[in-house]
Amino acid sequence: MFARWFPAAINTRPSEWSRAAIGMSLGTMLSVWVCSQVFGMPVAQHLIGPLGASAVLLFAVSSGALAQPWSILGGYLSAGVVSLLVAHVLGRTLGSACLAAGMALILMCWLRCLHPPAGALALLLVLADPATIALDWKALGPVMLSGSTMLLSALAYNNLTRIRYPKRASEPVSMVPADHPPTDSQAITAQDLKLALADMEAFFDVTPEDLEQLIHASELHAKRRSIGEVLRGRT
């Protein structure tokens, strides 16, 4: 029972951890600095929590569905509008902050821009510091400026370090070797995986195309292993 609590091994190299860590540090610093130049350091520092969480997604797991450009921009905008509306109607209390976070989640799901750090942003904008409260609806300015700066940082850094970002939703399978045999009519496709994910009715930070690519690559490794076992059996 206790073994279930242990995390699975991470399938990335330490060099990738370092690449993501440097990008996260630079992206967060640049986002806070740009925001502070326009709206002041107190407002910028108040947003550093969600920005740091967004940086983890954009630099460490940039291929995930929750880390794509529309996720961060749409998520931040949804959380900002909902939280400020709730603050005006219900006041700035712990209960209204939690309600704003829940409403922001529903709106993000509807707009297909789910971004977990936006939930923290909704809480922060309701329970804001005096400088952010004084901005009223103009508080959307620092939110979107810092979020856009983080996105631009991820676009530049990831591609400069040979990590393709953003990832298109319909991106074809590109890592499958050319000698991979064509699939038959019963082979699993991206559309099959999309329907299967819908049947499970849960959130998965992976695209059907990623799953299809993983399945094809696994089939190829299984084929090579099978051939290797046959050849070893003949010697």
**What parts of the chain have a pLDDT lower than 70?**
1, 3, 8-11, 168-191, 193-194, 196-214, 216-217, 219, 221, 224-225, 228-231, 233-235
CA distance 70 to 82: 17
The tally of CA atoms less than 13 A away on the side-chain side of residue 139 is 31
What's the confidence (pLDDT) of residue 168? 67
Question: Is there a single domain that holds both residue 181 and residue 146?
Answer: no
Domain's final residue, options 160, 181, 207: 160
Question: Is there a single domain that holds both residue 137 and residue 180?
Answer: no
Domain's final residue, options 137, 160, 183: 160
What's the confidence (pLDDT) of residue 171? 47
Domain assignment present for 8: no
Question: Is there a single domain that holds both residue 114 and residue 39?
Answer: yes
What's the confidence (pLDDT) of residue 175? 40
The torsion angle over the Cα atoms of residues 97, 140, 39 and 120, rounded to 10 degrees, is 40
Domain assignment present for 88: yes
CA distance 201 to 74: 22
Residues 6+ apart with CB under 8 A from 206: 64, 65
Domain assignment present for 2: no
What's the pTM? 0.75
CA distance 160 to 213: 24
Question: Is there a single domain that holds both residue 120 and residue 231?
Answer: no
Domain that holds residue 189: 170-235
**Residue-wise pLDDT tens digits, 67-97:** 999 999 999 999 999 999 999 999 999 999 9
What's the confidence (pLDDT) of residue 159? 95
Domain assignment present for 114: yes
Domain assignment present for 19: yes
Count how many residues are written for the chain. Answer: 235
Question: Is there a single domain that holds both residue 53 and residue 141?
Answer: yes
